[in-house]
Amino acid sequence: MTHRLKPSQYAILVAVMLTASVGDTLLTKGMKQVGPVDLHHLSLLWHALFNPFIDVGIILLIGFFACYMTSLSFADLTFVMPATAFGYVVIALLSRFWLHEHLSISRWIGILLITSAVGFVANSPSRTEHPNLDRMDSGVAL
Amino acid sequence: MTAAATIVRTWSCIVFVAALAIAGECLIAAAMRKLGDLDTLRSGTGLRSYLGPVRAVLSSPIFLIGALCMALNFFAMLFTLSVVDLSLAAPAIGSLTYVGNAIAAKLFLHENVDRRRWLATSFLAVGVVLVSR
d(CA B78, CA B17): 10
pLDDT in tens, chain A (142 residues): 456 788 888 899 999 999 999 998 888 888 888 877 777 777 777 888 889 999 999 999 999 999 999 999 888 999 999 988 898 899 888 888 877 888 899 999 999 999 999 888 887 888 877 655 555 555 544 4
What ipTM did this prediction achieve?
0.83
Q: Where along chain B do its domains lie?
A: 3-132
pLDDT < 70 regions, chain B: none
Distance CA B133, CA B131 (A): 6
Residues in chain A: 142
Q: What is the 3-state secondary structure (H, E, C) of B80-104?
A: HHHHCCHHHHHHHHHHHHHHHHHHH
Distances (CA, A) of B88 to A26, A85, A111, B46, B59: 23, 18, 19, 46, 37
Nearest Cβ partner for B37 among A73, A106, A130: A73
A96 CB-contact burial (10 Å; exposed 0-12 / middle 13-18 / buried 19+): middle
Interface test with A, best of B62, B112, B113, B129 (most A CBs within 10 A): B112
Rounded to whole angstroms, how far apart are CA atoms A62 and B50? Answer: 14
Query: What pLDDT shows up at residue B42?
Result: 78
Q: Give the CA distances from residue A73 to residues A27, A37, A67, A70, B52, in Å, rounded to whole numbers and listed in that order.
A: 28, 37, 10, 5, 14
Q: What is the DSSP annotation of A66-95?
A: HHHHHHHHHS-HHHHHHHHHHHHHHHHHHH
For residue A141, what pLDDT is reported? 46
The answer to whether A19 and A67 have CB atoms below 8 angstroms apart is: yes
| Chain B residues near residue A78 by CB distance under 8 angstroms | 101-102, 105-106, 111, 113, 117, 120-121
**Residue A65 contacts by C-beta under 8 Å, 6 or more apart in sequence?**
none
How far apart are the CA of A72 and the nearest CA of chain B, in angstroms? 6
Number of H helices, E strands in chain B: 5, 0
